[in-house]
Amino acid sequence: MKITLLLDIENMSVRFNTEQGVVHACRDVSFQLHEGEVLGVVGESGSGKTQLMLSLLQLLPENANINGVALYSDKDLLKLNRPDINQVRSNEIAMIFQDPMSSLNPYLKVSTQLTETLVLNQQIDKQTALKKAIEILEKVRIPDAATRIHDYPYQFSGGMRQRIMIAMALLRKPKILIADEPTTALDVTVQAEILALLKSLRDEFSLSIIFITHDMSIVAGQCDRVAVMYAGQTVEQAILDKLFYEPKHPYTQGLLAAAKSQSGLTDNLVSIPGQPPRNVGVQIGCAFYPRCDKRLDVCEQVTPVMSGSDIQQQACHLYD
Amino acid sequence: MIEYFIRRLLGAIPTIFIIILVSFFLIRLAPGGPFDFDKSLAPEIQANLNAKFHLDEPVYKQFGFYLKGILQGDFGPSFQYKNYTVTELIGQGFPVSMQLGLSAMALALLLGSAAGILAAYRQNSKFDYGVMTISMLGISVPNFVMAPILILLFAIMFSIFPAGGWNDGALENRILPIVTLALPQIAYIARISRGSMIEVLRSPFIRTAFSKGLPTFYILTRHALKPTLLPVISYMGPAIAGIITGSVVVEQIYGIPGLGRYFVQGALNRDYTLVMGVVVFYGVFIILLNLIVDLLYGWLDPQIRLQGKKA
Amino acid sequence: MSEIESLSPRKQIWLRLKANRAALASMFLIGLLMITVLVAPWLSPFNGEDIDYEAIASEPSITTGHLFGTDSLGRDLFVRTMEGSRISLAIGLVATLVSLLIGINYGAIAGYFGGRVDAVMMRIVDILYAMPFMFFVILLMVFFGRNIFLIFFAIGAINWLDIARIVRGQTLAIKQQDYVEAARIYGASHWKIIQRHIVPNLLGIVVVYITLTIPQVILVESFLSFLGLGIQEPMTSLGALVSEGANEMESYSWTLIFPAVFLSIILFCFNFIGDGLRDALDPKQVK
């Protein structure tokens, strides 16, 4: 069975010009998203995951400098003009964000925020748009959708607001959904509900999902393939089983060890010693060098490149 | 919303009370004032004063009479214009000041918000720096400096407008005073709306709006405008106070027969009752307007307007 | 991978301030102005009261020696403007200090004791905020005469509300800190705690406040003087000079322009400096 390649990111770098110098949010990142798959993007805060996704839809501020190629449907997303990128934002790639309270406009009714894209970009009339919006709210299990759609965001709980965001995305029938830590700001029980919801909607809406998270247990439950990012670079990419059972990059191993210890499967709490780097200035050698317990001398001088197969690749001198 | 309104109202009442109280005592304590009885007065005059101001009653009762008088709109007789009551003078001066003030406020709101919003949209551009610098000028240069300069330019050097006078409200006479009154407020409002817009444009929900592929103009008007203008509306209270204070000078310089000018003349001529009356009148006016602004704000913010309707 | 050294907060503030060219230019200008104002009258052969009968209402010229010209009574405008600037600046400083004293103490007490005391004190501030202070000041001037101390006090009393609020907020925050707890356990008196721990942390905010309040105070004083309710002769302030100038501007426009320009420059510069300081101390605040 041939699996279609939907999104092909190649050698993308994102740089910001700030007072303290040039900040490299992403360096030389490459990965692919195939049709129907869920790609997990894992990393600590500051690993550049959000910046990368925002740059795909040209949502970064003007002082951002983006290089590389992001191919979708034979078009480079990074070079599209305004009307074309708006078209992509509206109908092809949808994004949901981390904090549903601040991501919804507190001064507009939920009905407005749901129907506006349909009315403006897809030229659907207001009544039909409203009907569709109510239907989708019912799909994401908002009780009493027909009445509550006219409420304001603050009148909903955190979990319900995230459902509304999901509804807002699905209503546009996108091919790709980018979920940026959708459950991080929610209670644990609500987290589980939202994740279950996403899973059930996946098939119904034929979605391909990029799931950004720092929580390995979520990755285990949701993803088909995983890309691990550190200090703005991809350090390992693999299918789920390979990543969890045979992690190759020391950082991935560290993450998994920490996750296992957190869930109480071992006695001590394990964490990776040290701090993530500040990403300012040019980097020589492996970014993980200061914190790596398996490092070699060559790691300090030569930047490792990704090597391996489609099933598993890593950027580490241990496997050169 | 009702709760919000009642709370605000209850807050306003002690303030008004205090203004009246302070005014009452100030006028009684003023050396050389109408209640300074160092020199002994002829008995009939003393008796007259006693009767009129209830001076033989205890102080708190005197205050009661004063308060009652105010509530009925009676501020007493004017000291300089012997045939007029203060209430009549206020009645003459206030409508004129009101017209100027309203026009100035409207001008400030429109021009200020427009300038501020555009500057925010083109942040750090030459236009932005221009707006910020000119607004700094508007805030720094006092109106009694600006007015003579404007008169010098537009009435004396280039005779476009008359140098002063009300002329029954003729349009050409209004322009310079209204502009002078409005300038500092245009500056403040421009700064506030600019700062507000910049912050709104950075907020997550605007990013969400862009991520949905909505047109920019739609996002600016439908999503960003209201949260941007809310702080401007909050500023309306101090703005009104500023315009009223400004009117004192502006009416003096342009020779406009408004309440501000009556106040200054009264101050210079020791017309105690008039000065008191204007202070109380304007004080109550400002507080009531602040109440209205608060209500407007409450109505516009859904969280306040629909208080108590959470699911 | 190179780690960039994080600069100390003080250094960062200084750098940000240096980058703000408007603020820097303003500081330079104000410094220059203050020196001029203090020194210049000694350099001029005239003083502000003598009448030069040969040069009544004369234009500025180098030949007569009257650099700014003379007013309608023949007094040298240059010296008068310098004296007026001095008085205006002095009032600005003193009244601001009065405000500061009242405000800091009020705010610190409210924030430190918290609870009921705080609630009542802040309610009073709320009520006072809504009142048209300027009118009350004019009232005071009318009723009690134009005493210079009264002016200092009245103007100072207008502005203390803002600083009181800010100080109260800071005090509440600092109060929660551990080292204050420790001091209390060791038996330090309330007053000592306020002085030793809370006040030093307010330094930055206080400096910003001072630079922003001085122009406001000068403005109020000029306003009063302009109306004829402020400084009495023979002292003069920029406001009074502008008032005189405005009356004569049709014939002798320089009597208006010089004091007006000086007043505007002073206010303009202080505002820019205050703005710059505020940005330097808290860059997250939207500029």
CATH of the domain at A273: 3.40.50.300
CA distance A151 to A115: 14
Query: Residue C9's pLDDT is what?
Result: 64
Point out the residues of chain B with pLDDT beneath 70: 31-56, 307-311
Q: What percent of chain C has pLDDT over 70?
A: 86
- pTM for the full model? 0.84
Query: Residue B193's pLDDT is what?
Result: 95
Contact: B218, A95; criterion CB under 8 Å: no
Helix (H) / strand (E) containing A17: strand A5-18
In a domain, A114, yes or no: no
Bin C145: left if φ > 0, else alpha if -120 < ψ < 50, else beta.
left
Q: Is the pLDDT of residue C81 over 50?
A: yes
Query: Could you tell me the domains of chain C?
Result: 9-52+62-285 (1.10.3720.10)
Burial of B158 (0-12, 13-18, 19+ CB in 10 A): exposed
Q: Which residues pair with A211 in a beta bridge?
A: A40, A179
In a domain, A156, yes or no: yes
Between C198 and B153, name the one with better pLDDT: B153
CB C79, CB C48: distance < 8 Å? yes
CA distance A231 to A278: 8
Q: Which domain holds residue A280?
A: 5-107+152-319
Q: What percent of chain A has pLDDT over 70?
A: 98
Among candidates B303, B134, C194, which has minimal Cα distance to A107? B303
Its ipTM equals 0.89
For C141-151, the pLDDT digits (tens) are 777 777 777 77
CA distance B279 to B263: 9
Between C225 and C179, name the one with better pLDDT: C225
In a domain, A76, yes or no: yes
Contact: C227, B31; criterion CB under 8 Å: no
CA distance B98 to C52: 46
Among candidates C266, C239, C241, C240, which has minimal Cα distance to C252? C241
Average pLDDT rounded to a whole number, residues A85-99: 92
Q: How confident is the model at residue C287 (pLDDT cuts 50, 70, 90)?
A: very low
C283 inside 8 A of chain B by CB? no
In a domain, A126, yes or no: no
Domain total in chain A: 1
For A306-315, the pLDDT digits (tens) are 888 878 888 8
Contact: B213, A107; criterion CB under 8 Å: no
Q: How many angstroms separate the CA of residue B282 from the nearest CA in chain C? A: 8
Contact: A108, B212; criterion CB under 8 Å: no
In a domain, A120, yes or no: no
For A104-121, the pLDDT digits (tens) are 999 999 999 999 999 998
CB A207, CB A177: distance < 8 Å? yes
In a domain, A240, yes or no: yes
In a domain, A113, yes or no: no
Between B136 and C185, name the one with better pLDDT: B136
Q: How many angstroms separate the CA of residue A201 from the nearest CA in chain B? A: 20
Average pLDDT rounded to a whole number, residues A218-224: 90
**Which chain A residues are Cβ-neighbours of C4 within 8 angstroms?**
20-21, 278, 280-281
Contact: A102, B214; criterion CB under 8 Å: no
Bin B59: left if φ > 0, else alpha if -120 < ψ < 50, else beta.
alpha
Average pLDDT rounded to a whole number, residues C66-84: 82
Among candidates C287, C144, C143, C133, which has minimal Cα distance to C223? C133
Query: Residue B105's pLDDT is what?
Result: 96
In a domain, A205, yes or no: yes
Query: Residue B5's pLDDT is what?
Result: 79
Mean pLDDT of chain C: 79
